[in-house]
Copies of this chain bind each other. A is one copy, B any other.
Amino acid sequence: MAVHGPAMTDVARLAGVSHQTVSRVLNGHPNVREQTRLRVRAAIAELGYRPNGAARALVTGRSQVIGVVAQNTTLYGPASLLAALEQTAAEEGFAVSVGSVRNLDHRSISAAVERHLAHRVAGIVVIAPVESAGEALERLPKDVPLVTVDGDPQRPVPLVTVDQVAGARAATQHLLDAGHRTVWHVSGPSDWFDSAGRIEGWRAALLAAGIDPPPLMHGDWSAASGYRCGQMLARMPEVTAIFTANDHLALGVLRALHEFGRRVPAEISVVGFDDVPEAAYFIPPLTTVRPDFDAVARASLQMLLSQIESGIGGGALRQTIAPTLVARDSVAPPRH
């Protein structure tokens, strides 16, 4: 159907050189005379030549593509990560191929990875925040560069992760510093490492202050589940401070508190996690923890590239990105 564009030999003929010289110019090899280089570039421009990535991938064994495996790319975190990853990869001359999966189980992950391998991607980034993904990863071919993001800290796989524990600790500490006796926590789904880390940080901050952690409320990231948890918390007079595992949970909690006439922050303080762009416009503006997705993307890609360039095993195995607390109006000292 499509008329095939010019190939390297066409450029070579027009420039009066061999195809190999064209290849050298394209790949920035040193030993090409400046004059020749210019002639080749002119020929490339004149013909509108575009190198064929498939041919290059065939002979080199890898394409300039990085495969990303992610679950729900509609969630704010994964979406931001994906966008940042794509941006960073483009700067390094790589394209990003997305393989989103419905479930992060063994089969789905393997299938997505297989699809990427079939295209001979240069490396794979797995945004694998749940336990079940880990098993799949260990059974993967060992010869393909791989980095996991927000994955299992226990597994021997290169990992970049937001420091969930530190973020949660900061959030909890912020509430304690405001004078609250204890802090309640509405968590994310229990099989996500992000949740586990945030729970751990919350617990650690309380224990460090000599406080026995109150019962945990289980949510699933959604505002809906935050709302349900909020309905329970709203009826407990002893609750004065709540840390939610993400901002959408916080939104649900705020709604529930509002319905029960519990004022935020006058009666109850709330802190979220993620700093979604709208968080500053919740009622009231939400104090939250902001992960640096750009930094995560940059670290992951760098880790991946070092594997690609210097063989598997080169470079660091673990990198942690510290989040920052963003203070807004949803926190105040407890009354009395």
A residues neighboring B (CB under 8 Å): 1-4, 50-55, 57-58, 61-65, 72-74, 76, 79-80, 82-83, 86-87, 90, 95-100, 102, 114-120, 143-144, 222-224, 226-227, 248, 251-252, 254-255, 258, 277-278, 280-283, 285, 308, 311-312
Contacts and interface: CB of A to CB of B under 8 A. Distances in A.
Contact of A87 (B95, B100, B255): B100
B98 A54 contact: no
A329 to B, nearest CB: 11
Contact of A224 (B96, B223, B280): B280
A72 B83 contact: yes
Contacts of A57: 54, 57
Nearest to A311: B1
A73 B79 contact: yes
Contact of A281 (B53, B95, B224, B280): B224
- List 9 tightest A-B contacts by C-beta distance, closest first: A54-B57, A223-B281, A2-B143, A53-B119, A223-B278, A79-B79, A54-B58, A73-B83, A255-B281
A74 B63 contact: no
B98 A52 contact: no
A283 B54 CA distance: 52
Given A224-B281, A277-B222, A74 B65 contact: no
A117 B49 CA distance: 11
Contacts of A280: 223-224
A96 B98 contact: yes
Contacts of A114: 50
Contacts of A99: 86, 90, 95
A63 B54 contact: yes
A53 B115 CA distance: 9
Given A83-B73, A96-B98, A143-B2, A52 B277 contact: no
B63 A73 contact: no
Nearest to A254: B283
A102 B57 CA distance: 27
Nearest to A55: B58
A242 to B, nearest CB: 15
A232 to B, nearest CB: 16
A79 B74 contact: yes
Contacts of A96: 97-98
Contacts of A251: 278, 281-282
B100 A3 contact: no
Nearest to A230: B281
Contacts of A54: 54-55, 57-58, 63, 119-120
Contacts of A86: 73, 98-100
B252 A119 contact: no
Contact of A52 (B3, B118, B311): B118
B63 A119 contact: yes
